[in-house]
Structure 1
């Protein structure tokens, strides 16, 4: 019997060094997988240090030998060599219990922020003419660019902008002449004061119409940004103060989410949100974009059965207003939850799987039950244990290998 135990210990030792023998050829990536597995084994070995060392080693050797035999018979185990792992950039993560926010999944869109927009208004009444280049929605503009002009030359009252210009020029000449005459006491201080007031009023009126050209009053961009909305057509009559266009700086945007009325009770618990845009493989996190909750509706959108929730965020990624988004609204946080990255999960015929590392070259395909997703991590309800080493990168290559074969015949674990 003693000889039998010695043989088992020897086999376990050979197997262990076989898994770690190619130290010279392993990449940093392969070492990372080995370190995860080694740390996991050490954690397991130190959980009961009061056991008799001899009995513990024998039990561990017997367990290792038994599991190694089981590996070769298990159809859910995939062999993936060190070289394959390196080529696939395969990575594993030790899964522990972690806080996880409850999620409300919904859809919505990105819109311009009113706080980040400037309206252009007509400085005078008249017929509006679009500038050259022709301004359209989405046009990029710089501060001072001429966008439109307004002319009243063909109206009954005549060209207001032109009349304002003439009045300004006359008032300016009178003021400059009075400045010289008041020095010689030819014009009294009171007369000079009246002339100065007339000049300043005429100047203010002239500047209000932004100067005058042959085709009317020029309307220039007060700030840089892009035209997000044009509210008139070329040739329309506009009244003084009427909104003509809106310029958005695009530095801040709004995320407008449409939540179903069944989730109304969760609205006060909303903390933040993540979102994805179709055709872009990236998760946007409001907490990384200085995002905040602006408001949530106290009403249901007529005919749509939705409640609007609005977030504001800094546009760090040059996003475009009007873009559709899949949104993950984060509410209160639960503790003691097992969660894995979304990329770690495979789906086949409506079932979900993970790959769990058994050792350096063997990975078990394990079915799991999933819970909520925040767009980044997915809660695992069943099928995963704390401390399991889950493959997070290289999953597709492992999945492809699992389809080819489980364990090639004649494969030896020792090297």
Structure 2
């Protein structure tokens, strides 16, 4: 509901937006039958220029719009120069800067045809020798001025062929990767207590932080304090014995075999003592975090008795995620040709595997009676905006040997069960065209009829054009809305 309201509000803003610049539009008949238009793209910038009919010796006004094709917003720059054939040969005229991306050029042509030569903007030269007198159809045509398109989330794209294979729509569950998880286990049997005031999922921990204390006090068969004291005493005894025999070996009083035996006993006692010392703190055995991360799950409560080796908690870094999708077994033959996957999170944003540094990890080879679904597992980074345990929509895309025409999913608008796109006739004029659609991976949609490769369509903002056309406030033969 909020999204629909935002689109309607944007359309209302666009429909009234041009009223703010009435005084600057001196070419109300820019799309008339006698208009001259220039469309050219160079270095990521689009030039769209238009004027009334060029007549020799008559003053003419040319309006130029410069659009950055990376974001379809007005290009930065305050200087532009037009080269044209004037009464004294090829002449130059500086453009009048009106506002970002918009310039006026006033000049007197020296001929009726072939007048415009080029426009230089920000060091980019745009060829204008192809200026044309295009005549466009009037049916299902909507005018959407450049300045209107700059006000909204708008973009166009060229219809291309792509190897869009079969698309399998399913759902995947998110989990941490195995390399990103560590289990915290009890290294001794005893009564467990939290190292802090609480141990809750989501808490941040650092490598080496004590998370639990395990007390063996009062347990005759596994009293860790007694074991630690014994290990310490044995280590000190073995250390003294080894040092004593080192001194005696210098005078050849003890043999090398005796010295080696003393050294082995010392190293064994030291390893036992160091291991216990690392985890035995304050009279209790500590369970520590092995990695930086956060607490994923806690399996025990304060005061529980635990056995040695029992899992106490799970720590996760969550830098990489696993997404396991369950695919019906009827698609088994196609799963050997997976080309890509499109993941859609809870906010409705779609990502290809490449967008989230993802890859296909594994495809299941069998099913069971209890679960007749084949697991397909992908690995991604955490930019997906999902957390372990949640679900995301997954479109598994298989490879195809036959290219098909595709457009962005945002180019398609639906009306009474039929599908349409807005085909660009020029950068301010669009024709509503009915299309037949095929498979879709959530980002691209197959076009079976209605368009040709190389044609340009609106890929963002098509819904706003639909609302504007339905409102009936846009005149297909006027240059701008007034």
Q: Does TM-score exceed 0.5, indicating one fold?
A: yes
Relative to structure 1, the CA distance from residue 228 to residue 263 in structure 2 (aligned partners, 3 Å threshold; closer, same or farther) is: same
What do you get for the CA RMSD once the two structures are aligned?
Answer: 3.3
Deviation track 1:303-341 (CA, whole Å, cap 9, x = no partner) reads 554221112234455642112111111211243311111
Relative to structure 1, the CA distance from residue 411 to residue 20 in structure 2 (aligned partners, 3 Å threshold; closer, same or farther) is: closer
CA distance in 1, matches of 2:63, 2:342: 43
TM-score by length of 1: 0.77
Single out whichever of 132-141 and 172-181 deviates more from structure 2.
172-181
Matched pairs, number: 366
Single out whichever of 127-136 and 87-96 deviates more from structure 2.
87-96
| Equivalent residue, structure 2, for 1:379 | 446
Q: Unpaired runs of 5+ in structure 2?
A: 1-30, 39-48, 52-60, 74-132
How far residue 122 of structure 1 moved from its aligned partner, in angstroms, is 1.6
Residue aligned with 2:172, SS: strand
CA distance in 2, matches of 1:294, 1:408: 54
CA distance in 1, matches of 2:371, 2:238: 64
Matched, 1:178 2:241: yes
| Equivalent residue, structure 1, for 2:204 | 140
How far residue 270 of structure 1 moved from its aligned partner, in angstroms, is 1.7
Residue aligned with 1:326, SS: strand
| Equivalent residue, structure 2, for 1:337 | 404
Among 333, 353, 358, the alignment partner of 1:291 is: 358
How far residue 23 of structure 1 moved from its aligned partner, in angstroms, is 5.0
Relative to structure 1, the CA distance from residue 12 to residue 365 in structure 2 (aligned partners, 3 Å threshold; closer, same or farther) is: closer
TM-score by length of 2: 0.67
CA distance in 2, matches of 1:149, 1:304: 41
Matched, 1:108 2:172: yes
Residue aligned with 2:248, SS: coil
How far residue 15 of structure 1 moved from its aligned partner, in angstroms, is 2.7
Matched, 1:267 2:335: yes
Alignment check: 8 A CA contact 1:178 1:192 kept: no
Alignment check: 8 A CA contact 1:286 1:292 kept: yes
Q: Unpaired runs of 5+ in structure 1?
A: 1-10, 34-62
Deviation track 1:38-96 (CA, whole Å, cap 9, x = no partner) reads xxxxxxxxxxxxxxxxxxxxxxxxx955xx4x40xx2x221222332332354322213
| Equivalent residue, structure 2, for 1:220 | 288
| Equivalent residue, structure 2, for 1:392 | 459
Relative to structure 1, the CA distance from residue 202 to residue 123 in structure 2 (aligned partners, 3 Å threshold; closer, same or farther) is: farther
Single out whichever of 113-122 and 207-216 deviates more from structure 2.
207-216
| Equivalent residue, structure 1, for 2:23 | none
How far residue 233 of structure 1 moved from its aligned partner, in angstroms, is 3.0
Alignment check: 8 A CA contact 1:274 1:375 kept: yes
Relative to structure 1, the CA distance from residue 408 to residue 252 in structure 2 (aligned partners, 3 Å threshold; closer, same or farther) is: closer
CA distance in 1, matches of 2:370, 2:246: 75
How far residue 144 of structure 1 moved from its aligned partner, in angstroms, is 0.6
| Equivalent residue, structure 2, for 1:278 | 346
Deviation track 1:171-221 (CA, whole Å, cap 9, x = no partner) reads 233234335533553995666655554443343334444332335111111
Matches within 5 A, 1:217-366: 217-281=285-349, 283-300=350-367, 302-303=369-370, 305-317=372-384, 319-366=386-433
CA distance in 1, matches of 2:397, 2:432: 30
Single out whichever of 269-278 and 244-253 deviates more from structure 2.
244-253
Relative to structure 1, the CA distance from residue 365 to residue 303 in structure 2 (aligned partners, 3 Å threshold; closer, same or farther) is: farther
Deviation track 1:126-179 (CA, whole Å, cap 9, x = no partner) reads 1221220522223221111111111111324252x2122211221233234335
| Equivalent residue, structure 2, for 1:15 | 35
Structure (1/2) with the larger helix percentage? 1
Q: Which has the higher contact order (CA 8 A, sep 6+)?
A: 1
Residue aligned with 2:388, SS: coil
| Equivalent residue, structure 2, for 1:122 | 186
CA distance in 1, matches of 2:346, 2:280: 48
